[in-house]
Amino acid sequence: MEHTLLNLVIVIILLSNIRLLNTSRIPVMIVAVAIQGWVIGSLPLLLHWEHFQLTLFLITLITVSIKGIILPRLLNRSMQQAGVMREVEPFVGPTLSLLIGLFLLSLSFWITSSLRSSLPEGLFFIPVLSLFTVFNGLFLIISRKKAITQVIGYLTMENGVYAFGASLAIDHPFLVELGVLLDVWVGVFIMGIAIYHINREFDHIDTDKLSTLKH
């Protein structure tokens, strides 16, 4: 049963990443990143079911509510304030993005297999997909123009880092774990405010047009 659940998690992470890559509709991207947040947030609990602890449960609860509920809502609000629903003409189109995604996935496979000898027993696909999520986030930040899509990329990347940590069974002290989450939360919050200001000042949120400062 545990195995089936983990496989399901793997599939969902993969699908959410693919969805992020090949859509230009921002509401869809937000939903994808929210689902990813749900799944990745509950990963520590799924992986360490046998060593059930209260702090583990608390962390899962807080992570899921931040990554899966609060941050997507913040993004939604920013999107509505800016009135931008689509990523028009990104630097890299959806089809090519998908191809690059395929390449990134193979890259993650390659890196993880070269580290395989020192990975925990029986875990292979979760580190692969975590790395893929990190690369995917980075790629979204580089290849998309809208400020809000870049924030979605940042969130994807953070999701990947979190999943990677969870799959290697890294436990930070409770306070540090909370601090990391708080930082991500405040970060996205401030970015949301920045998007609001960019929209108001420039009438658009295309970051490639933010280019007065040079040298």
Partner 1 sequence: MAWILVIVPLLFGLFSFILRNRRIVLLFFLLGGILHFVLTIWVWISPMEGNSLVFFDPLGMLILTVTSSLFFMVTFYSIGYLKNHMERSSLTVGCMFFFLAAMSLVSVSADMGLLWVAVEATTLASAPLIYFHKDHRSLEATWKYLLICSVGIALALMGNIFLSYAGGDSIAGLYIPDLMSNANRFEPRWLKVAFILLVVGYGTKMGLAPMHSWLPDAHSEAPSMVSALLSGSLLNCAFLGILRAFGILRLSGLGEWGGNILVLFGVVSLILAALFLIRQTDFKRMLAYSSVEHMGILALGIGVGGLAGTGALLHLINHSLIKGFLFLVAGNILAFYQTKKIDSIAGLIHRAPKTAFLWMAGFFAIAGSPPFGLFVSEWIILKGLIDSERWMLIIVYLIALFIVFVSLARYIIPMTYSSSASNIEKPEGWFLNKEPLWMWVPSLLLASIPLIMGLYVPPVLFNFLSAVFSVWGGV
Binding site for partner 1 (CB under 8 A): 115, 118, 134, 138, 141, 147, 150, 154, 157-158, 161, 164-165, 168, 170-173, 175-177, 179-180, 182-183, 186-187, 190-191, 194, 197-198, 201-202, 207, 210-213, 215
Go through 21-57 and write b for each residue having 16 or more CB atoms within 10 A of its CB, e for each that does not: bebbebeebbbbbbbbbbbbbbbbbbbeeeeeeeebe
If the CB atoms of residues 27 and 165 are measured against partner 1, the closer one turns out to be 165
What does DSSP assign to residue 42? T
Distance (Å, whole) CA 134 – CA 84: 25
Q: Which two tokens stand for residue 106?
A: 């193979």
> 146, 206 in Cβ contact below 8 A?
yes
CB of 179 to partner 1, least distance (A): 3
CB of 95 to partner 1, least distance (A): 25
CB of 170 to partner 1, least distance (A): 5
56: amino acid identity, one letter: L
CB of 112 to partner 1, least distance (A): 12
The neighbouring-strand residues paired with 86 are 25
Q: Which two tokens stand for residue 26?
A: 């921002």
Distance (Å, whole) CA 160 – CA 20: 13
If the CB atoms of residues 58 and 99 are measured against partner 1, the closer one turns out to be 58
What does DSSP assign to residue 48? T
If the CB atoms of residues 58 and 182 are measured against partner 1, the closer one turns out to be 182
CB of 69 to partner 1, least distance (A): 21
If the CB atoms of residues 102 and 176 are measured against partner 1, the closer one turns out to be 176
If the CB atoms of residues 46 and 168 are measured against partner 1, the closer one turns out to be 168
